Structure 1
Amino acid sequence: MTEAPRETRVLEAVVSLVDSLLDDFDLVENLTDLTHRCAALLDVDAAGLLLADPHRRLHLMAATSEQSSDLELFQLQAEEGPCLDCFAGGRPVSVPDLPLQADRWPRFVPAATEAGFASVHAVPMRAAGTVLGALGLFGADTGDLNEADLLVAQTLAHVACVAILQDHAPTPATVVPRLQTALTSRVVVEQAKGFLAERLHVSVENAFGLLRGYAQTHHVHLTAVARDVISDPDARETILSTIGASTAPSA
């Protein structure tokens, strides 16, 4: 079957993401889906989303893989990188050839290169005059994002802002509590991922996939499932039993 034109796929992605915001939705799941759509629609191989807390410290909120997750976290630990510059300046950052930026980011560039990335781009997330975070886009090949791709990336970053701040028009007074709620949800999901990885002897990335799969199959929020894994022993055993059955090797 012939693939639909890129413009059609972009519109379908935006409509799907916005539709999810008009219904009951899970924030972490929604933003994870958004990063995957970035990687599928743009000329990049991975994406990650960093969100600021009330003290303006950035935290990982969503990523397409453990690899992009690790690289986003490395930026935070090293206190340098395109997403941090994007967040600080409130403007897009585009780096078509990473090795040429070794002087600018002496720790980040070798880490990104070792992870297999040769280019990186970042667009800011803004609401009510406040930069909420940054959407990072990582490419395995060198090259700029064209204007159309940058526009799509910025549009998806705006959708992420709407997801975080939805219900009321954002104001400086409403931004902070919503950021804290989003970050708390992510912490719960991260704890559940680690627990499942250790209990089921799988990678953290596979554990996240199992967690998402369970939530989607049972039509419940990802964060609610994660909270049950962490704090409800009875629900935890039911979830583990179901997930364990799905991962058991077939006879």
Structure 2
Amino acid sequence: MDRRHREPLWRAIAAPADVEGRRDSWAQTVCLACVETLSHVDAATLALRDSSHAEEVLGASDSWAADLAELQYTVGEGPGVEAFTGGDPVLVPDLSVEQVRWPGFAQVALAEGAMAMFGFPLRFGAIRLGTLELYRRSIGGLPRDELRDVALAADLGAAALLRHARQAEEAGQTFVPDPVRSFHDVNIATGMLAAQLRISLDEAFIRLRAHAYSRNRSILDVARDVLGRRIILNEFAE
């Protein structure tokens, strides 16, 4: 990839942080630039992660990509999850051969049209912030030059996130990006379950996830049913 074609991606990463009240955030711009710049990529997401149940999808090139990110969050596995926990890129040029590796994720992702996925950790030194994930609707890997550019984009993106946070702090503000897919309702529902059933937050989250998976539903939809009192909390008791 020549410098001219890389420029939209580098400009997106170097852009200022989110503007309050706007959906076209920095992360959203980066994801759209990935699709525009990388000829073998159909969609992209950028997510902040902290643990297995602390995640916000800051940017997504389209709703299909955001849905795939939510699917990974629901089942707790997939290229993005593994890239974050392991700290190294996870490259999957053919998702159909990974159904043993990720039994809860691969089959449903394939049914949604995802044939290849690539997860890159957003890290700055030992600090892991999240992931940049790329999706293809056809089987195949990324050319060497695109792999190199995405790896660099992930590192620069992590540095940019830290810079945005530091600039907000210096201005006496809180850096709170506007996510395109928030899982805050899951955190609230998890707390409700933990209090009602007198179990730990981790155990409550596991039960919420298991309930969603067993019914082929999104954990976010289940969480909202919990908050709306449409599910009796005793259903989650052992």
Q: Does TM, normalized by the shorter one, top 0.5?
A: yes
Q: 1:107 and 1:68 mapped to 2: Cα distance?
A: 18
Equivalent residue in structure 1 for 2:19, among 26, 35, 49: 26
2:176 pairs with 1:182: yes
Q: Percent identity?
A: 25
Q: Secondary structure at the match of 1:111?
A: helix
The alpha-carbon distance between structure 1 residues 188 and 136, as it changes in their structure 2 partners (threshold 3 A), is closer
- Write the deviation string for residues 109-149 of structure 1: whole angstroms up to 9, x where unpaired: 11211111111111110124111111111001111112211
TM norm structure 2:
0.64
Answer yes or no: is the 8 Å Cα contact 2:12–2:26 preserved in 1: no
The alpha-carbon distance between structure 1 residues 117 and 181, as it changes in their structure 2 partners (threshold 3 A), is same
Q: Aligned-pair distance for 1:164?
A: 1.7
* 1:182 counterpart letter in structure 2: V
Provide the residue aligned with 1:14 in structure 2. 10
* Unpaired stretches in structure 1, ≥5 consecutive residues: 192-251
2:48 pairs with 1:51: yes
* 1:115 counterpart letter in structure 2: E
Of 54-63 and 96-105, deviating more is: 54-63
1:190-201 alignment, distance < 5 Å: none
2:81 pairs with 1:115: no
Q: 2:65 and 2:11 mapped to 1: Cα distance?
A: 26
Identify the structure with the greater helix proportion.
Answer: 1
2:86 pairs with 1:89: yes
- Write the deviation string for residues 153-179 of structure 1: whole angstroms up to 9, x where unpaired: 122223322332116889xxx9xxx9x
Q: 2:42 and 2:180 mapped to 1: Cα distance?
A: 25
Answer yes or no: is the 8 Å Cα contact 1:164–1:182 preserved in 2: no
Provide the residue aligned with 2:58 in structure 1. 61
Q: 1:54 and 1:152 mapped to 2: Cα distance?
A: 27
Q: Aligned-pair distance for 1:9?
A: 1.6
TM norm structure 1:
0.61
The alpha-carbon distance between structure 1 residues 169 and 25, as it changes in their structure 2 partners (threshold 3 A), is closer
2:126 pairs with 1:129: yes
Q: 2:114 and 2:124 mapped to 1: Cα distance?
A: 30
Question: Displaced runs of 4+ in structure 1, greater than 6 A?
Answer: 187-191
Q: 1:115 and 1:136 mapped to 2: Cα distance?
A: 16
Number of matched pairs? 176
Provide the residue aligned with 2:146 in structure 1. 149
* Unpaired stretches in structure 2, ≥5 consecutive residues: 185-238
* 2:28 counterpart letter in structure 1: T
Q: 2:49 and 2:3 mapped to 1: Cα distance?
A: 31
Q: Secondary structure at the match of 2:176?
A: helix
* 1:39 counterpart letter in structure 2: V
